[in-house]
Amino acid sequence: MLHARGAAAPPADAAGEVLDAQRLSDPSLAVVVGGEAGAPVAGYWLVDVDSLERALEIAAAAGVAVEVRPLMSERLGPSAD
């Protein structure tokens, strides 16, 4: 999951890897529960890539600050196999 901090569309070369991309409403419409608001997030891209490196390449091509993190269902770290 890539969280864009500015208004940006996913890079064109990631077209086959983008599962979903949505812009979020204005931060003034946000409601923060149980903490303080951080930097506003403009939207997100859900990408299906083979590696963290590829996700970072897509994020770097955005031209804005992007937070990269896996979904909770994804295994983190090296395989125990």
Which residues of the chain, if any, have pLDDT below 70?
A: 1-13, 15, 74-81
Task: Tell me the backbone φ, ψ of residue 13, rounded to 5 degrees.
Answer: -75, -5
Q: What is the pLDDT of residue 3?
A: 60
Q: How far is CA 76 from CA 27, 46, 56, 59, 80, in A?
A: 30, 17, 15, 19, 11
Measured CA to CA, the distance from residue 68 to residue 4 in angstroms comes to 9
Q: What is the pLDDT of residue 77?
A: 57
Q: What is the pLDDT of residue 53?
A: 92
The mean pLDDT of the chain is: 76
Q: Is there a contact between 43 and 21 (Cβ–Cβ < 8 Å)?
A: yes
